[in-house]
Amino acid sequence: MTAPAEVTAAPRTAPEAVSRVHTDLFIGGTWTPAAAGGRFNVVNPATGDVLARVADADADDARRALETAAAHQAEWAATSPRSRSEILYRAHRLIMDRVDEIATVMTAEMGKPLAEAKGEVAYGAEFFRWFAEEAVRIGGDSTTTGDGSHRIVVSRQPVGPCILITPWNFPLAMGTRKIGPAIAAGCTMVLKPAELTPLTTLLLADILVEAGLPAGVLSVVTTSDPSTVVTEWMESGLARKISFTGSTEVGKLLLRQAAGTVMRTSMELGGNAPFIVCADADIPRAVDGLMFAKMRNIGQACTAANRVFVHRSVIDEFSEAFAAKMAGLRVGDGAADGVQVGPLVEPKAVEKVSTLVSDAVAKGATVLCGGENHDGPGFFYPPTVLTGVGLDADLMRTEIFGPVAAIIPFGNADEPDDPAADDEVLALANDTPWGLVGYLFSQDVDRCARLSAALETGMVGVNTGAVSNPAAPFGGVKESGLGREGGRVGIEEFLDMKYTATPIPRR
């Protein structure tokens, strides 16, 4: 086990960009305090210091926001597709003009390194541009019944007021990925950002106002009591759709609530991603792929590689190369120059990761780097590589959500070409209730096709650790969720289909 990583600090003062962010609720185009006057703290995870105090909504605030959305639905749905498209185009340009400001706020409240935050801003902005283009392509169909008696015209209409619930780990991109298609489709929205990272979403709301989004189309409700606010929305009967990104446990609760009013649902839930390195893999490429798939967002991503299966014939070479890269990463305040790994989002996250590592070691795993808690300020955990991880380790059955890579061997070291190894690793990879994404590295085209088809996931990265793109339909199978976000189908989640039958006169 290596010594604790040195943590690079930054000045313990809130950035000026944070002080300019509105901290009230945004309802009906107006910034307003919570009805009861409550506020809650937003903390910098790199220092533990309070960045801002944000309005703390209750059920009354939630009801007012959703009633506003319902009241504006018909008018907003009647706007032209081109008008909605132009708003999204303007919002995209405004975001890109303010990359530094948005990234600074994001790093301060969430912790990711500034360079990575800037990358998220560009990624998130692209959802607005993508759906600006989709807004004017909402299509339909026309046909004649088989007996020739009726003409059938199929059209698509906005589903209605939507509940959007975003997570803390990608505070801009998860907002734009939901807001973009809702605007394009003509739906009004109420949005609850995660209480850990509300500032980026509040800044995004301000940008949308500047882009010309009419009052009442989007309301942002911040709260330290998500259950009260969301339950008020779910039971109101006014909302017609919910789009949620978060844990499987909460997703299941929301699905039960949605059944009460037969609400449309999009659920992007947890993951337990397998990362498979076959005997014939390009090892340097696989190492680089795992660095991205594991360490993006400090490992705090549902797409993060959770279980790394490496063929025994290459496991030593792969593990040593990967551990060397992980050990060389610079840990510290994401706002400091050169930092590559920021803090985890809260103390509970550090405790969870530390407990998972301790459990794996107690069950026989070996620590190649990292594995030591940080004693100073902030919520840090070092990049950690475990090898020889047993199938009974707790981290095999839960999302790690941190900078820890668990390497598990498969196959026979003396038989790198044995096809039985493919069957073995597929069984291991699919042995989970989740199915969001899987990663596969091999130079055999046939093997890649066979294994990627057999992986029980909604997405597969073949010889790449990057799968997220606005042009792709993001989503999973099994307990990783329902529906898709992004791609050509992303807007369909916000549209209802209607057909009209008209008799054809007989001559």
The catalytic residues are: 268, 302
Strand order in the sheet with 241-245: 30-32, 25-27, 218-220, 189-192, 162-165, 241-245, 264-268, 481-482
How far is Cα 305 from Cα 316, in angstroms, rounded to an integer?
19
Task: Judge whether 480 and 271 are in contact, CB under 8 Å.
Answer: yes
What is the secondary structure of 292-346 as a DSSP string?
HHHHGGGG-STTSEEEEEEETTTHHHHHHHHHHHHHTPPEE-TTSTT--B---SS
Task: Judge whether 135 and 85 are in contact, CB under 8 Å.
Answer: yes
- Under DSSP, is residue 394 helix (H, G, I), strand (E, B) or coil? helix
Task: Judge whether 157 and 77 are in contact, CB under 8 Å.
Answer: yes
What is the secondary structure of 221-283 as a DSSP string?
---S-HHHHHHHHHTSS---EEEEES-HHHHHHHHHHHHTTT-EEEEE----EEEEE-TTS-H
| Phi/psi at 171 (5° precision) | -65, -25
Q: Which of 406, 418, 395 is nearest to 370 (CA)?
A: 406
| Phi/psi at 118 (5° precision) | -65, -35
Task: Judge whether 46 and 10 are in contact, CB under 8 Å.
Answer: yes
Residue 42 corresponds to which tokens in the numbers above? 């937003």
- Under DSSP, is residue 287 helix (H, G, I), strand (E, B) or coil? helix
Task: Judge whether 461 and 438 are in contact, CB under 8 Å.
Answer: yes
What is the secondary structure of 441-460 as a DSSP string?
E-S-HHHHHHHHHHS-SSEE
Count each helix (H run) and each strand (E run) in the chain, helices first.
14, 24
| Phi/psi at 208 (5° precision) | -65, -35
